[in-house]
Structure 1
Amino acid sequence: MNYWLIKSEPNTYSWDDLVKLGKDHWDGVRNYQARNNMKAMKPGDLALFYHSVKEKSVVGIAECASEFYQDPTTDDDRWVVVDFVPKEKLKKPVTLDDIKAVPELSEMVLVKNSRLSVQPVKKEEFDKIIAMSEA
C-alpha cells in the first residue's frame, strides 16, 4: 500500500463534498508531477485529504477506489483521474503549521513543495499525522 496527500480548496471541493457523494473522481489536475503520482495510485492506497488556501490542514483520510483513467472533464488525453471514497474524518485537523513544527515531518513533500496538489507521503509521515490528529 502507498500513501498520498491530495489537496483541494474547501470552497471549491471539500471533505464534506466527498462524504456527501460517497465516491468521486479526483479531477482537474494539470501538473505533470501530480498526474504521474495519480498514475501510480492503486485501489486501497490511502490519502490524506488536505484543505488548502485558508485552512491549510489535513482533515480526513480518503481511499483510492480505482486505477487511473481519462479525466472526463477534458478531451486532452494527457490528464487522468482516480476515484476516491471517504474513509475517516480526522478527530481534529492537523494544520500545516503543526506539521512544520515536527522535526520528523521536515522532509515531507508538503513542507518542501507545498504547491503540489497530489503528492506521495511516507508511511511514517502518514502515521505521525494521524497520531497528531488524535492527540
Structure 2
Amino acid sequence: MASISSSIQSQYLHEMGIDQWELIHPERLTGYKVDLEVLPEGCKLLLVSDEKPEGKLAEMFERVVKSIKLDLSQALYIPSNQFASIESDTADWVWFAGCSSPIKLDAKVLQSPLLSEIDGNNQHRRDLWQQICAYD
C-alpha cells in the first residue's frame, strides 16, 4: 500500500470503518524520532496559517513579502497542523497568521490574525508592519 497516495489510502481506511489519527506533537512520544521535511532551498519566509492565501489574500500576502524585500518565490505556505513536521530552522522569517508558535524559533517571527482579518483592517496592518520594522 506504500505506492498508493495518502488521500486514496485515507479513503480506503474510511470505507473500511477504520479511524485514522494524526499526531499533532509526535515529538512528545518517548523514543519517537520525527523525520522532519526540509524546506526548499531558497525559502526565506514560511507562512503558517490555516488560511491559504488565494485571490485577493494572495495579493496582500505578496505585498507583505515584498515589504520584507523578498520575492514571492522565496515564500512558502503550510497549514498550521504541518508545522511540527517541517525543519523550520532554515527560514529567515516565520509568520504565524491566526495561530501561534508552538516552539521558540531563531528566525524572525511575525504573529498576526488570519490574512482575511488583516485585509481591510488598518490596525492589524499597522501592527504587522510594526513587527516587520522591529527587525530592521
TM-score scaled to structure 2, two decimals? 0.26
Rg larger in structure: 2
TM-score scaled to structure 1, two decimals? 0.26
Report the structure, 1 or 2, having the larger helix content: 2
Higher relative contact order (CA 8 A, sep 6+): 1
Report the structure, 1 or 2, having the larger strand content: 1
